[in-house]
Amino acid sequence: MAEDLVLDTAIRDWVLIPLSVVMVLIGVLRYFVSKLMHSSQTPDAKIVKEGQVIVRARSLRAGANFIPSKAFRARKIYFCNEENGLLFVPKGQGQNPQAQMFSDPNMAMDMMKKNLSMIIPQTLTFAWVNFFFSGFVAAKIPFPLTQRFRSMLQNGIDLSTVDVSYVSSRSWYFLNLFGLRGLFSLILGEENAVDDTQRMMQMGGFGFDPSKGLSAEKDNLDITQHDWALPNFEHRAEAVLRKVIS
Amino acid sequence: MVTKTEETQLNRLENQVDNGGGGAWDYLCLVRKLKVRRSQKVLKHGLSILNDPKQRSSLGADEWTLYEQVAVAAMDCQCLDVAKDCTKVLRKRFPDSKRVGRLEAMLFEAKGSWDLAEKAYASLLEDNPLDQVIHKRRVAMAKAQGNISVAIDWLNKYLETFMADHDAWRELAEIYVSLQMYKQAAFCYEELILSQPTVPLYHLAYADVLYTLGGLENLQTAKKYYASTIDLTGGKNTRALFGICLCASAITQLTKGKSKEEKEGSQLQSLAAKVLEKDYKQRAPDKLPQLTTALKSLTLSS
């Protein structure tokens, strides 16, 4: 490509700026919609209890050497016995999260709401951008870039001859989608920023299974050896007292 | 737990506020953050902010937090009118808030109308059975009425679900000690040691309970925990030093006549006695004779 492309100022006025403004407005709107639909879900008693059991078992494992062996054994049995130990999960009772999700309408509802506030506006805006602005070269980056950036910056233009520093309108949309987080945290307050990338990550990690945590903790506790640390303390206390006297 | 630096900061701020140096809001925030109980000061300074419309409106949304804080402080000081007014203002602003419902229930409690308070808490718990504060209020209420056994029941029920809450374990331990149920108390202190192994106070309390229980094995264990207290405090805890001496003499009394003598223990005892003497010489010389006679009686009886 010999001579530079000259971009019409009308593209700036009617593509670049409207696109950015619309993205910001949609972000703000989505924040308020999700706030409106947000339901404070009360945690399930069983899940809370399981979390607490895990915390307590963990501290038992960490501090095992600080209590007499009799006390430790009693607790170990209380946690780990095969009949009604707190950490013991009967086989087959560990629900898989999928089934749990369908059995609990609240959970499905929450998922729906999350999707409503996230995926629908996204697809809509994407379709809108595709329909109105496809094929525009909307902006030019003031520095040269290597060929690798072509797929990032020139999405929607299949021309290998265009210099990579030109940004297509669809790519401008993506840049806005992922890059407006800083602006949102300014507008909506620090913790309210709508972060699409993080949300997408959350979607992947959905469905944590507490019973797995329980059985893992049980295994850990099973192999914990008790080695009472207190007899050593007598010697250490002697040393401390000697130091105090001298 | 409030650390030393936080405490000095708090005291400095309190001094400043008391002497009219401003910073009342910062002080109130710090009190809230550290969850310390300085109700009278909070009431005084909080009210002075609330009664000044200009200062109050400059807080923005924090105004309501302040109302809540002042209401609780007023209940603690038995200024029920103030508490009532604050609660009313909050109720007007948040007509169907559970948090305000809790305040109202606490107001009943402060007035001493236990039945009404109990009813209010029960209905709040129905809405949210996992509200820790309300569970704790119920325990406190039972304790205030003198129904210690009911308080124990509530606490046990609470701990069944929230078993990692060490403050509740501590409360239970202290209640058991007050009822002389030492075995149960020992269990609670074990739990506390597990959750925070480096807090010497729990080691000390556990040792006290074990010493009180008596028996050779318990005494030996108690001595070990006194020793760990000494180690953790750097030998500055007088109670632990006395504990070592008492345990050692009790152990020798029990093992007297038996062939297996424990030589290593006696050294710790004499060291502890020496440190005690040194401490008393420095800080309370007039009590020194009493100490020497007491220590002598301990060693004589062995």
The per-residue pLDDT for B156 is: 93
* Report for A84-98, A164-178, B97-111: range of highest mean pLDDT: B97-111
List Cβ neighbours of A152 (8 Å cut-off, separation of 6 or more). Answer: A171, A174
User: Which residues of chain A are within 8 Å of residue B162 when distances are taken between CB atoms?
Assistant: 48, 52
The dihedral sign for the CA sequence B53, B55, B61, B62? negative
Across the interface, of A55, A67, A241, the residue whose CB is closest to B271 is A241
Judging contacts by C-beta atoms under 8 Å, the chain A residues touching residue B227 are 230, 233-234, 236-238
Residues of A in contact with B248 (CB under 8 A): none
* CA–CA gap between residue B83 and residue B76 (Å, rounded): 9
Tokens encoding B77: 């000081």
Picking from A48, A67, A241, the nearest residue to B190 by CB comes out as A67
Q: How many whole angstroms separate alpha carbon B184 and alpha carbon B192?
A: 13
Predicted structure pTM score: 0.74
Read off the pLDDT of each residue in A83-106 and give the average, rounded to a whole number: 65
Indicate the average pLDDT of chain A: 78
The shortest C-alpha distance from A124 to chain B (Å) reads: 36
CA dist., res. B248 & res. B222, Å (int): 10
The rounded distance, in Å, linking the Cα atoms of B250 and B217 is 11
Number of H helices, E strands in chain A: 12, 2
| A48–B130 CB contact, under 8 Å | yes
Spell out which residues of chain A touch residue B197, defining contact as CB-CB under 8 Å: 62-63, 66
Tokens of B65: 């937090």
**Tokens 């999405």, residue?**
A155
Q: With b meaning 16 or more CB within 10 Å and e meaning fewer, what string describes B141-165?
A: bbbeeeeeeebbebbeebbebbbbb
Pair of tokens at residue A157: 């233009």
Give the dihedral sign, CA A70/A74/A80/A82: positive
Angstrom distances, CA of residue B15 to CA of A10, A97, B11, B27: 66, 56, 6, 10
pLDDT digits (tens, 9 = 90+) for A32-48: 887 777 666 666 777 88
* Cβ atoms B117, B108 nearer than 8 A: yes
**B244 contacts in A (CB within 8 Å)?**
237
Tell me the backbone φ, ψ of residue B234, rounded to 5 degrees.
Answer: 70, 30
Answer yes or no: do B194 and A67 touch at CB < 8 A.
yes
Pick out chain B residues at pLDDT < 50: 302
For residues B239 and A67, give the distance between their C-alpha atoms in angstroms, rounded to a whole number: 21
Interface test with B, best of A214, A233, A242 (most B CBs within 10 A): A233
Contact A245 B275 (CB under 8 A): yes
Q: In this complex, do A71 and B164 lie within 8 Å of one another by their Cβ atoms?
A: no
Model pLDDT, residue A192: 56
Is B210 within 8 Å of B186 (Cβ atoms)? Answer: yes
Q: Which helix (H) or strand (E) holds A224?
A: none
Q: Token pair for residue B216?
A: 């050779």
pLDDT in tens, B9-54: 888 888 888 887 778 888 898 898 888 888 998 998 888 888 888 8
Q: Are B230 and A240 in contact (CB < 8 Å)? A: yes
pLDDT value for A198: 53
**Residues written for chain A:** 246
- Is pLDDT at A162 greater than 50 in this prediction? yes
Contact A59 B227 (CB under 8 A): no
- A230/B128 touch (CB, cutoff 8 Å), yes or no: no
pLDDT of residue B168: 93
Does the pLDDT of residue A127 top 70, yes or no? yes
What is the sign, positive or negative, of the torsion defined by CA atoms of A42, A46, A47, A48?
positive
Q: Residue A166's beta-bridge partner residues?
A: A140
| Closest of B14, B36, B32 to residue B23, by C-alpha | B14
- The per-residue DSSP string of A156-218 comes to T---TTS-TTEEEHHHHHHHHHHH-HHHHHHHH-GGG---HHHHHHHHHT----HHHHHHHHH
**What's the confidence (pLDDT) of residue A207?**
44
Q: A234–B264: do the CB atoms touch at under 8 Å?
A: yes
pLDDT for position B302: 47
CB B44 within 8 A of CB B76: no
Cβ(A162)–Cβ(A3) below 8 Å: no
Question: Which of A76, A77, A84, A241 to probe by mutation at the B interface, max B CB count within 10 Å?
Answer: A241
Name every residue whose Cβ is closer than 8 Å to that of residue B4 and which is 6 or more positions away in sequence.
none
Tell me the three state secondary structure of residue A140.
Answer: strand
Which of B129, B161, B268 faces A234 most closely, judged by CB atoms? Answer: B268
Q: How far apart are CA A241 and CA B277, in angstroms?
A: 12
Partner residue opposite A52 with nearest CB, options B163, B190, B193: B163
Contacts of A243 in chain B (CB under 8 A): 235
Looking at chain B, which residue has its C-alpha nearest residue A59?
A: B195
Backbone angles phi, psi at A124, to 5 degrees: -65, -50
The answer to whether the Cβ–Cβ distance between A242 and B271 falls below 8 Å is yes
pLDDT, position A182: 80
Which residue among A43, A68, A245 places its CB closest to the CB of B130? A43
A195 pLDDT band, cuts 50/70/90, is low
Domain layout of chain B by residue ranges: 1-85, 201-256+263-302
Q: Is the pLDDT of residue A100 over 80?
A: no
**Minimum-distance CB partner of B161 among A52, A64, A66:** A52
Contact B197 A241 (CB under 8 A): no
Domain layout of chain A by residue ranges:
9-245
Residue B209: its pLDDT value, please? 95
Q: How far is CA A226 from CA A61, A81, B74, B203, B236, in A?
A: 9, 17, 50, 18, 30
Mutate: best of B157, B162, B167, B231, partner A, most A CBs <10 A: B231
Residue A163 has pLDDT above 60, yes or no: yes
What residue in B sits closest to A62 (Cα-Cα)? B194
Shortest distance between the Cα of B127 and any Cα of chain A, in A, equals: 10
CB B87 within 8 A of CB B104: yes
Closest C-alpha among B82, B69, B142 to residue B109: B142
Give the residue carrying structure tokens 């707190």.
Answer: A86
The pLDDT of residue B127 is 84
Contact B231 A237 (CB under 8 A): yes
At A87, give phi and psi (nearest 5°).
-90, -5
Closest A-chain CA to B237: A241
Q: Find the mean pLDDT for residues A66-88.
A: 85
Interface contact A52-B190, CB threshold 8 A: no
Q: Terminal CA-to-CA distance of chain A, rounded, Å?
A: 88
Chain A residues within an 8 Å CB radius of B129 = 45
Contact B232, B200 (CB under 8 A): yes
Q: How near does any CA of chain B get to the CA of A228, in Å?
A: 11
* CB–CB contact B221 A68 (8 Å): yes
Q: How many pairs of residues across A and B have Cβ atoms under 8 Å apart?
A: 96
> In 3D, which of B174, B148, B152, B75 has the Cα closest to residue B117?
B75
The per-residue pLDDT for A102 is: 59
